[in-house]
Amino acid sequence: MPQSLPRVDRAPILVLGGGIGGMSFAILARRAGWPVHVVEADPNWRVYGAGITVTGPTYRAFRTLGILEDLKAQGFHVTKGGRLCAPNGMAVTDLQDRPIQPDLPVSGGIMRPDLHALLSRLTREAGVRISLGLTATEWTDTGDGVDVRFSDGGAGTYDFVVAADGAFSKARSFLFPDAPKPTYTGQYCWRVVAKRPPEIDRSHFFVGAPVTCGLVPVSQDLMYLWLLENVPEMRRVDEATAYQRLAQLLAPFGGPVGILRENLNADSWVNVRPLEAVLLPPHQWFKGRSILIGDAAHATTPHLASGAGIAVEDALVLVEELARHDDLAAAFQAFTDRRFERCRLVVESSVAIGKAQQDHVSPEIMGAMMAKAQMALLADI
């Protein structure tokens, strides 16, 4: 018997995880008239991290989501390509990027907490029911619904479950105990927010040193620095002295990076994390009336700056396929068919670029790898 899609007079959709993918799906599903319940483990619904880079395909996804103007008002957005620089800060060449669509920025950035605040506000305004400090501990697929038990002892019945609970998804482990887990890719990413000097009016990439770093404007006043460090095995980083280690890594750089380095101190908020990635095989993207989206299905490294974008794309495509099909299994399969190759491109290309950096291949080869992947991402979703 076909599995029917949700109606307003039926049980709500349960969304596990209040991150970018989960909120984007919840907003779109409510706009389509479906009741939605978002469950988020963090009782304060916080988000950590510095800034994020926004690429052309991500702008396209945000516009379809309906938040482009809000995004423009809060971030920093440019209509020209990035700038390639030597370690001393001297410009080498300007990258001749073009917008994916004539009225969209070429690239830009926004503080991750600002993006989270924007999406969480829109989620509430859409009428989504939100429960914080709560997780789903188990659920039973009854064929025409899902019975869920929660960490506070409560329970509920839902039409289906959308698991958007991140790279270390508990839902993934519950649904597919043998699913692959995120794997360390050999690099750590360092980030720190700083005041933006006027000359940093676009993304700047600094190449030719033992490590690669960049500066990305995220507002009229702020920018963030990212740096990729090759580290053979995962290790603990002492948060109290992280700024000192970052200063050591930045020693080869002059110009604006050198100025930022000289101003690092114990009050600098330095974010550092190991880069891990996972790509589930397509047969593990959904099971019965439960489906995985975003990092739960395809966590990537930041080399193509596309993790947030493909999570929003997941939400867009899933709502489209739910509206297009009368059968839930058919909608889930159509979603997977549309998304797998694109997400595989992002994950595998990002990991490959990171491996090339670790192997110290030439900037020309890495540039060609990035250009090939970025060109493919211009295709419609």
Q: How far is CA 220 from the centre of its chain?
A: 23
Residue 1 pLDDT level (bands cut at 50, 70, 90):
very low
Instruction: Give the residue-averaged pLDDT of 114-130.
Output: 96
259: part of which helix (H) or strand (E)?
helix 255-262
Half-sphere exposure of 44 (CA within 13 A, CB side): 4
Instruction: Give the residue-averaged pLDDT of 61-78.
Output: 93
d(CA 377, CA 43): 36
- Range in 29-33, 188-192, 359-363 the model is least confident about: 359-363
Residue 3 has pLDDT above 80, yes or no: no
Residue 80 pLDDT level (bands cut at 50, 70, 90):
confident
d(CA 302, CA 249): 19
Structure tokens at 281: 């095989």
d(CA 100, CA 58): 10
Q: How far is CA 122 from the centre of its chain?
A: 18
Cα 180 to Cα 116, 172, 183, 232, 305, distances in angstroms: 28, 9, 9, 21, 23
Q: State the distance between the two ends of the chain, measured CA to CA, in whole angstroms.
A: 30
Residue 48 has pLDDT above 90, yes or no: no
Instruction: Give the residue-averaged pLDDT of 332-344.
Output: 98
Question: Higher pLDDT residue, 250 or 6?
Answer: 250
Strand ranges for 161-244 from DSSP E:
161-163, 183-195, 204-206, 212-217, 222-230
d(CA 165, CA 340): 18
Helices and strands in the chain: count of H runs, count of E runs: 11, 20
pTM of the model: 0.94
Instruction: Give the residue-averaged pLDDT of 216-239.
Output: 95
- In total, the chain counts a number of residues equal to 381
